[in-house]
C-alpha cells in the first residue's frame, strides 16, 4: 500500500512547536540544542542570515519545520511524553550506527532519520496487525 502524502505529518504537537503561521522555529532550534552555525549548515544559509523573526529565511523555516515534525513523530510514539522524547534524541542509537538522533539532525541527516523512524513505525503497525 502506498503511503498517504500526509503520512509524515504527526497527529499531535506534543512539543508545542506550532503549525503554519504559529510555527515557532526558534523553539525547535532550542529544543534540539542547535546553535546558529548548526542551523546555518543544515539549512544551507549563511550564519549571519539565521534569524527567527518575521524575516526568517525560507530555508531555515522549512528545515526546522521538518525537524520539528520528526521530533513530534517520536513524541507520538512515546504518547506525548516530552522527557522520553528528549532522551531518545540524545541517546546513542545502534539502529543509526551508534549515533544519536540529535547528532543525525546536526549532521544534516534528518531525512535519513525521518525515513528510519517512519520505517520503524510502519513495522510496528504491521506487527500489531498481523494475524
Residues 79-124 have pLDDT tens digits of 999 999 999 999 999 888 899 999 999 999 999 999 999 888 887 6
Give Cβ neighbours of residue 41 (< 8 Å, ≥ 6 apart): 108
In a domain, 12, yes or no: no
Do residues 21 and 32 make contact, with C-beta atoms less than 8 angstroms apart?
no
Which of 5, 31, 114, 19 has its CA nearest to residue 61?
Answer: 19
Task: Answer yes or no: pTM beyond 0.85.
Answer: no
Across 23-35, b (16+ Cβ under 10 Å) vs e yields bbbebbbebbebe
CA angle 105, 126, 113 (to 5 degrees): 5
Domain contains 90? yes
Q: Is residue 80 part of a domain?
A: yes
* Coil, strand or helix at 23: coil
- The answer to the question of residue 67 being in a domain is yes
Domain boundaries, position 38: 20-129
Total domains in the chain come to 1
100 neighbors 89 (Cβ within 8 angstroms): yes
pLDDT at position 123: 78
* Residue 15 domain-assigned (yes or no): no
Q: Is residue 25, in this structure, part of any structural domain at all? A: yes
Report residue 70 as a C-alpha cell.
520528526
pLDDT tens-digit map of 4-14: 444 445 567 99
Residue 93 has phi, psi (to 5 degrees) of -120, 115
Q: Which residue has the higher pLDDT, 53 or 130?
A: 53
- The rounded mean pLDDT for the chain is 87
Amino acid at each position: 500500500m502506498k503511503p498517504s502524502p500526509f503520512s509524515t505529518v504527526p497527529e499531535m504537537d506534543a512539543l508545542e512547536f506550532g503549525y503554519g503561521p504559529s510555527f515557532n522555529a526558534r523553539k525547535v532550534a532550542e529544543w534540539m540544542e542547535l546553535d546558529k552555525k548548526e542551523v546555518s549548515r543544515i539549512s544551507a544559509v549563511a550564519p549571519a542570515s539565521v534569524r527567527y523573526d518575521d524575516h526568517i529565511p525560507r530555508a531555515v523555516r522549512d528545515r526546522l519545520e521538518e525537524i520539528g515534525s520528526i521530533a513530534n513523530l517520536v513524541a507520538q510514539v512515546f504518547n506525548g511524553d516530552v522527557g522520553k522524547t528528549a532522551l531518545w534524541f540524545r541517546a546513542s542509537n545502534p539502529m543509526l550506527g551508534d549515533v544519536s538522533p540529535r547528532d543525525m539532525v546536526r549532521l544534516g541527516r534528518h531525512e535519513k532519520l525521518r525515513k528510519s523512524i517512519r520505517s520503524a513505525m510502519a513495522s510496528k503497525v504491521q506487527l500489531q496487525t498481523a494475524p
